Amino acid sequence: MEPLSWTGSLGSTLIPALTIAAAVFVAGVILQLVMGFFAPEVKLQSNSDGTLQSRGGLLGRLEVYNGYLFTLVVFLIAAIVVVSWFMPYGKAGILGEISKQFLPVWIALIVTFVLSITFKRKLGLYGKLFDSTIGMIGFALVMFWVFTSIFVGLFDMIATHDPLQQISGIKNKTPGFPVPEGQDADFFPHYLLGGDNLARDIFSRVVHGSVIVMVIAPLATIFAFMVGITLGLPAGYYGGRLDTLLSFLANLILAFPVILLFYLLVTPEIVATGLPNYMAAFLFVFPLVFFGVLINSRYKTQGSKNTLYLALVLIPLAFLYVNVVSDADSPLHVWPESLDFITIPSGILVVFVSVVFVNSPTVYRIVRGLALDIKTRDYVAAAQTRGEGTWYIMLWEILPNARGPLIVDFCLRIGYTTILLGTLGFFGLGLPPESPDWGSTINEGRKLLLIYAHPALPPAIALLSMVLGLNLLADGLREESLKD
């Protein structure tokens, strides 16, 4: 097989057109920025024929042209993606083949966007997201990786090779390198993004890495929120000694340099003492407490309903809890082996626990601040006069009214958790070295960065796009929720 070029036969037509359009667009934007800086403020001017003009002159025309150019660039990119789907293998170059591999993701994205935009007026805050361009771009980036992880993790689609498959002769080879003839198995004929230091396919590893990130980051963030909410609400609502003590503990954890904490928690010697297992046992109780109190505070006057709901939620949760916490090789082996269906690899558990541990004090501080603010409102006073219990007030009066900032922070925090996971991987802590997660892959790649730069770049760009998407999404959500 021939090595693939980046753009294949599109290279002669569409790609140069795109490059020129993009370059002119960027130049236009910069020019516009510079001019906009000196121009007077935008004022609506009325023309003599009764129409309104937003901004006239050279700058106004530039804005219009830039708008057209941006549409052209988007159209060209879409054209390249679509055209490459219909080209035979190898003709569309590396970019075309990658876009072909992502076909299920594109379809899922298009379906999501068409459905959401059609029904956006009925979808509440989620629907409003589709009014802001920034929010839409962020949402598209996030959903791209969500769908990728779903299709890779559940259906095993997208990836071209096994993430651990080594094929001799492709060690550190550049993108588009063909798999040599005479292999035992029928492999995908190229390494689309080249091979890494151990001759594994970088493209497949990046795609598989998204699964790990997508499983750990949101889950860890949810746990951090459970811990933060369960401790932050009473601290803010009651104040006093409890608040002082909890805030001191939170500040204590926050004053730790994160990396030192990771090194202290994640080294094999500490793992051997079982410390992370105890921490997991402690931190994983919080969802149980949270849901128990949430239901009990609402239905405690309706005995039978209360018992039913509590049983429905708590029994599965408690079952999950013992399943997760108790493991054969952990010091907390309390559950019979035959009933233990979930075994979390100790590396993942350690990483999970330390990320939750680092994140929860910040969530605690945010929730505490919100509770301090909201507890002075009239509806809280009304609930107090009605004689509602304190937990009812905290969880059913204060918490729902704090949801706006919490949702925004949740998005930001998933991004931050992704960064933390990457940091752990970057220092080779926690996850096994052959794990395809982005941090570990960057760590692998950076060791030979000055000689072979291509293995480290794709995971770095993947991580960047994902975190950027979450940040843009949070920004869009904030903007839209402020408009109310």
418 Cβ partners below 8 Å, 6+ apart?
A: 213, 217, 463, 466, 467, 470
Of the candidate residues 475, 477, 478, 480, the single one contacting other proteins (CB under 8 A): 475
Of the candidate residues 126, 187, 238, 256, the single one contacting other proteins (CB under 8 A): 256
CB of 149 to other proteins, least distance (A): 19
| Choice between 305 and 447, CB closer to other proteins | 447
| Choice between 248 and 341, CB closer to other proteins | 248
Q: Considering CB under 8 A, how many residues would be counted as binding other proteins?
A: 55
**Residue among 219, 214, 187, 213 nearest 201 (CA):** 187
| Eight-class DSSP state of 166 | B
**Residue among 211, 96, 105 nearest 158 (CA):** 105
Of the candidate residues 272, 342, 381, 382, the single one contacting other proteins (CB under 8 A): 272
Angle at 464 between CA 143 and CA 216, to 5 degrees: 60
- CA distances from residue 198 to 203, 449, 461 in whole angstroms, order as listed: 14, 14, 21
470 lies in the binding site for other proteins (CB under 8 A): yes
Determine the Cα–Cα distance for residues 328 and 334; give it in Å rounded to an integer.
9
| Eight-class DSSP state of 228 | H
Of the candidate residues 187, 263, 391, 396, the single one contacting other proteins (CB under 8 A): 263
194 lies in the binding site for other proteins (CB under 8 A): no
Q: In the numeric block, which tokens belong to residue 441?
A: 């892959």
482 lies in the binding site for other proteins (CB under 8 A): no
CB of 464 to other proteins, least distance (A): 5
- Range in contact with other proteins (rule: CB under 8 A) among 67-75, 95-103, 272-280, 281-289: 272-280
Residues of span 311-340 touching other proteins by CB under 8 A: none
Side chain identity, residue 43? K
Residues of span 119-178 touching other proteins by CB under 8 A: 134
- The number of CA neighbours under 13 Å toward the Cβ of 194 is 18
| Choice between 77 and 457, CB closer to other proteins | 457
CA quadruple 136, 138, 143, 148: dihedral, nearest 10 = 130
| Choice between 134 and 320, CB closer to other proteins | 134
Contact 120, 130 (CB under 8 A): yes
Residues of span 51-90 touching other proteins by CB under 8 A: 63
369 lies in the binding site for other proteins (CB under 8 A): no
**Residue among 436, 441, 439 nearest 454 (CA):** 441
- Indicate the SS3 state at residue 178: strand
CB of 423 to other proteins, least distance (A): 7
Residues of span 5-34 touching other proteins by CB under 8 A: 29, 32-33
| Choice between 74 and 110, CB closer to other proteins | 74
Residues of span 379-438 touching other proteins by CB under 8 A: 415, 419, 422-423, 426-427
450 lies in the binding site for other proteins (CB under 8 A): yes
Angle at 331 between CA 328 and CA 337, to 5 degrees: 25
Determine the Cα–Cα distance for residues 484 and 479; give it in Å rounded to an integer.
10
Angle at 456 between CA 454 and CA 460, to 5 degrees: 120
457 lies in the binding site for other proteins (CB under 8 A): yes
Of the candidate residues 181, 184, 186, 269, the single one contacting other proteins (CB under 8 A): 269
Angle at 123 between CA 119 and CA 126, to 5 degrees: 115
468 lies in the binding site for other proteins (CB under 8 A): yes
CB of 172 to other proteins, least distance (A): 13
184 lies in the binding site for other proteins (CB under 8 A): no
Of the candidate residues 14, 24, 199, 259, the single one contacting other proteins (CB under 8 A): 259
SS3 content of the chain, % helix, strand, coil (to 5): 70, 0, 25
Of the candidate residues 86, 155, 248, 341, the single one contacting other proteins (CB under 8 A): 248
- Interface residues with other proteins (CB under 8 A) are 29, 32-33, 36-37, 41-42, 63, 134, 248, 251-252, 254-260, 263-265, 267, 269-270, 272-273, 275, 415, 419, 422-423, 426-427, 439, 442, 445-446, 449-451, 453-454, 456-457, 460-461, 463-464, 467-468, 470-472, 475
